[in-house]
């Protein structure tokens, strides 16, 4: 130590071999500490960044859900407006006593095709009135209470609608079928009926307005030895998707030629 002190007094710079040795020895531990510190700092930064990103993603998700909800509402409103405009046009064409109603229930039984309306006798709806939509005939009221009515749909096998083949003016009775479609009965073998023929109401049953679309012929069975032809019909109104309807009172207007 004395020697080092004497040398350092005369030397232009400090001579410290022990310090140099210690400095060299501490090099690797200090590198390790610096590396560990940098890793910890990176992990912390990533952790904070991930939390911030998670918050941003959550906020974006909420905004997207709100926009999607608004878009669905706008689409639903547009769809409702279109349906109501079509019903309004049909109501003006029909004239007479017409009551607008909404379907609030359907029969849970597969073999019974009925629907329930949200209006009844208090609104002017009584048994025997026709139920129509812009796309065609839906059914007829078979019972009515003060605030609700039950409708027998044209797809029910017990339904019967007097119709005309629009092309040939041949008359027949349209009924429902087990598969939810329709059938045309009492068409004699000699009558001209073809696939694609349009069926409309004749108005002669005193229930359904004349000229309302019922469906289209999709199959004509072989005549064979039977007196009548076998005719299958696709109904024009999609009964599973109808929401709003018009209930029409029978009258001279609907049975006119």
Tens-digit pLDDT profile for residues 198-240: 999 998 888 998 899 999 999 998 655 678 899 999 999 888 8
Q: How confident is the model at residue 63 (pLDDT cuts 50, 70, 90)?
A: confident
Secondary structure (DSSP) of 115-152: EEES--GGGT--TT-EEEETTEEEEEEEEE-SS-EEEE
Q: Is the pLDDT higher at 118 or at 89?
A: 118
- For residue range 133-169, list pLDDT tens digits in order: 888 899 999 999 999 999 999 999 999 999 999 999 9
What proportion of the chain, given as a percentage, has pLDDT over 90?
37
Neighbours of 242 (CB within 10 A): 21
**Is the pLDDT score of 81 beyond 80?**
no
Structural Rg of the chain based on CA atoms: 41
Neighbours of 113 (CB within 10 A): 22
Interacting residues of 214 by C-beta distance below 8 A, sequence separation 6+: 136, 137, 154, 161, 163, 174, 182, 199, 200, 201, 233, 235, 236
**Cα dist from 43 to 48, 49, 53, whole Å:** 9, 10, 15
Q: How confident is the model at residue 4 (pLDDT cuts 50, 70, 90)?
A: low
What tokens does 216 get? 């289209």
Coil, helix or strand at residue 8: helix
C-alpha 219/C-alpha 177 separation (Å) is: 13
C-alpha 103/C-alpha 150 separation (Å) is: 10
Q: How confident is the model at residue 115 (pLDDT cuts 50, 70, 90)?
A: very high
Q: How confident is the model at residue 257 (pLDDT cuts 50, 70, 90)?
A: very low
**Is the pLDDT score of 25 beyond 80?**
no
pLDDT of residue 255: 39
pLDDT of residue 27: 63
Q: At what angle do helices 17-25 and 27-94 cross, to 10 degrees?
A: 30
Q: How confident is the model at residue 57 (pLDDT cuts 50, 70, 90)?
A: confident
pLDDT of residue 232: 94
Contact 191, 184 (CB under 8 A): no
Q: Is the pLDDT higher at 134 or at 30?
A: 134
**Is the pLDDT score of 13 beyond 70?**
no
Position of tokens 């009775």?
173
pLDDT of residue 253: 43
C-alpha 113/C-alpha 107 separation (Å) is: 6
Q: Is the pLDDT higher at 58 or at 18?
A: 58
- Average pLDDT over the chain reads 80
**Is the pLDDT score of 71 beyond 80?**
no
């Amino acid at each position: 130590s004395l020697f080092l002190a004497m040398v350092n007094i005369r030397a232009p710079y400090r001579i410290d071999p022990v310090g140099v040795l210690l400095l060299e020895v501490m090099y690797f531990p200090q590198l390790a500490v610096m590396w560990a510190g940098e890793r910890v700092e990176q992990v912390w930064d990533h952790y904070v960044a991930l939390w911030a990103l998670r918050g941003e993603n959550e906020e974006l998700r909420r905004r997207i859900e709100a926009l999607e909800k608004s878009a669905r509402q706008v689409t639903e409103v547009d769809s409702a407006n279109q349906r109501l405009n079509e019903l309004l046009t049909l109501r003006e064409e029909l004239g007479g006593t017409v009551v607008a109603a909404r379907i609030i229930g359907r029969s849970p039984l597969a073999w019974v095709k009925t629907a329930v309306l949200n209006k009844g006798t208090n609104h002017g709806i009584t048994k025997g009135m026709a139920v129509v939509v812009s796309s065609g005939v839906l059914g007829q009221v078979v019972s009515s209470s003060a605030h609700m009515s039950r409708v027998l749909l044209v797809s029910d096998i017990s339904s019967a609608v007097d119709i005309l083949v629009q092309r040939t003016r041949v008359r027949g009775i349209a009924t429902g079928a087990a598969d939810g479609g329709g059938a045309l009965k009492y068409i004699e073998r000699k009558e001209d009926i073809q696939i694609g023929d349009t069926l409309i109401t004749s108005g002669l049953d005193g229930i359904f307005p004349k000229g309302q679309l019922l469906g289209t012929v999709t199959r004509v069975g072989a005549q064979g030895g039977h007196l009548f032809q076998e005719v299958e019909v696709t109904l024009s109104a999609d009964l599973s998707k109808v929401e709003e309807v018009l209930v029409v009172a029978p009258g001279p207007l609907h049975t006119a030629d």
